[in-house]
Structure 1
């Protein structure tokens, strides 16, 4: 691989993406850089001004002017950081989040347009080649994944099927559970896909370097005023980045924000890592009993979180 070949690829890909974006006015009335900042604010757990400047490699003066424009347009709010009052925390307003969601939707449509010209048989090969490029260059930079590299997003087509497949595969590999568990997960996911309230129920997918590495669901429980946390999952090679903690935190914040009084969940005592996460977020064990399920002897546990009396 020569320097000229890399430069030629860069020119080709930059021109291709640029033509797609701007021929359709993808980011109008925002520039590509402004759209990148909005995307970062919508998906990154670190939103101090200094973090944005570092993550996006932006000049401090340029970023300051850009944020002032966003504030004037009602897209962001700025306040002293809760952890360090010398730093400024930036957060999206409801209008800003709507704008970021719209730009993200347009971006997905743009990529979909690009893929429509690629024969179906070549799409997997294309995705694998792109993944290889990311992995090779990341290895060359010797930078391991960081917590801020993980984003939480809503599910896209195929993600719900991924939840079923990965739950079945991981719990078989790690605990020897049989296909009864896959059937349970498939029913839970199918019920959500076919009939859920988008205001009161939600799924989060954790993504790292363009691939799914975790998920969780918040659904209505049978008890009035109660939400149920379901199917928390983190891929083994992505553990240690705080993904499970962020997924549970997103679930709890959402449930509290839409007015649930309590959140409940059912798990098994062998899932010690997940139970520690639940405890950190204030869940309390309310009941447990042995049972025979998924081809194994287990101890099931019911946990509860009072959303009205417990604040993070």
Structure 2
């Protein structure tokens, strides 16, 4: 059994301790900032738990006591007392379930809905005050960071979908470096490519910029949580041909339709430019990407054995007539 060096173990524990301390420090700041330690929320008669129960009913439209208990992990007896209080105050009404007369689903009354509207407005205003002195890009960073935390901790509804991804074109400072970085990181992790591959991508970027024409060339960049998660490019070539390059998706953003969306944009651009042919160079290791190519009308026309980037592979060429 191979044991981790003592120095590495100590460093790992120190990093974990620093992370835990940082999270706890943030939790203390945020609970104070939102007034979550106060006995009542927004100087009302309702506790934080009361409001969370009301919000759960409001958010779902209708739900059961069991659904609330499972969502909020509340003691059954405590929840029953809260719901009885809400019924007496005319905030919640029970509706017997047709299939089980002993059970009921809960909805907010008009009075309950009005209370939730007031609570939501107060909460929104409180957060607006927190953000009012921040620049737009700083606000965006906060939103992205909070969504990223929910995603990484696998919170319900935290996984991003295609609707959460922003796809843009038009190169900005920093984009080229991010293209190279993402290629280097992903290909090393998935295929074991060495640093020479990252150098190769840098060289292709340099060659591209020497003849870059925004009217004939286009690079689409996909981002989510403020980070680049995918890309594709079309580069004009002589004789009304074009080359597809740098088609890449971060692994955790595959399977949501992003690859198809990027390819659709690239092919539509080729039609607009009236290119006669589009080609691409890849390797036999990129099987998933190849399936997307063939679905978009590309045909493999060559496969040549190569030893590059620390790998024995086949360099493949795909072509599509437009």
TM-score by length of 2: 0.57
Q: Is the aligned partner of 1:275 residue 2:290? A: yes
Q: Secondary structure at the match of 2:213?
A: coil
Q: Deviations over 1:227-285 (max 9, x none)?
A: 00001110011111111121122111111111211100011011000000000000011
Higher relative contact order (CA 8 A, sep 6+): 1
Stretch of structure 1 that moved more, 145-154 or 4-13 = 4-13
User: Partners of 2:149 and 2:185 in 1: how far apart?
Assistant: 27
Q: Secondary structure at the match of 2:264?
A: helix
Residue 147 of structure 1, CA deviation: 1.9
* Aligned counterpart, 2:232: 216
Q: Deviations over 1:87-141 (max 9, x none)?
A: xxxxxxxxxxxxxxxxxxxxxxxx46xx6xxxxxxxxxx8765433233567655
* Aligned counterpart, 1:145: 160
Taking a change above 3 Å as real, the CA distance of residues 287 and 140 of structure 1, as seen in their structure-2 partners, is closer
- Alpha-carbon RMSD: 2.6
User: Partners of 2:147 and 2:174 in 1: how far apart?
Assistant: 22
Corresponding residue to 2:128 among 5, 8, 11: 11
Q: Secondary structure at the match of 2:255?
A: coil
* Aligned counterpart, 2:308: 293
Residue 148 of structure 1, CA deviation: 2.0
Taking a change above 3 Å as real, the CA distance of residues 295 and 135 of structure 1, as seen in their structure-2 partners, is closer
Q: Is the aligned partner of 1:200 residue 2:216? A: yes
Corresponding residue to 1:133 among 146, 167, 173: 146
Taking a change above 3 Å as real, the CA distance of residues 237 and 224 of structure 1, as seen in their structure-2 partners, is same
Q: Is the aligned partner of 1:243 residue 2:258? A: yes
Taking a change above 3 Å as real, the CA distance of residues 194 and 180 of structure 1, as seen in their structure-2 partners, is same
Stretch of structure 1 that moved more, 250-259 or 190-199 = 190-199
Q: Of the two, which has the highest radius of gyration? A: 2
Residue 187 of structure 1, CA deviation: 1.3
Pairing 1:1-312 to 2, within 5 Å after superposition: 1=31, 2=36, 7=124, 9-12=126-129, 15-16=132-133, 111=136, 129-136=142-149, 142-154=157-169, 155-221=171-237, 223-307=238-322
User: Partners of 1:127 and 1:152 in 2: how far apart?
Assistant: 16
User: Partners of 1:168 and 1:297 in 2: how far apart?
Assistant: 18
Q: Secondary structure at the match of 2:212?
A: coil
TM-score by length of 1: 0.58
Residue 295 of structure 1, CA deviation: 1.2
User: Partners of 2:155 and 2:284 in 1: how far apart?
Assistant: 41
Q: Secondary structure at the match of 1:144?
A: coil
Contact 2:300–2:318 at 8 Å: present in 1 too? yes
Taking a change above 3 Å as real, the CA distance of residues 140 and 176 of structure 1, as seen in their structure-2 partners, is closer
Q: Secondary structure at the match of 2:159?
A: coil
Q: Deviations over 1:52-98 (max 9, x none)?
A: xxxxxxxxxxxxxxxxxxxxxxxxxxxxxxxxxxxxxxxxxxxxxxx
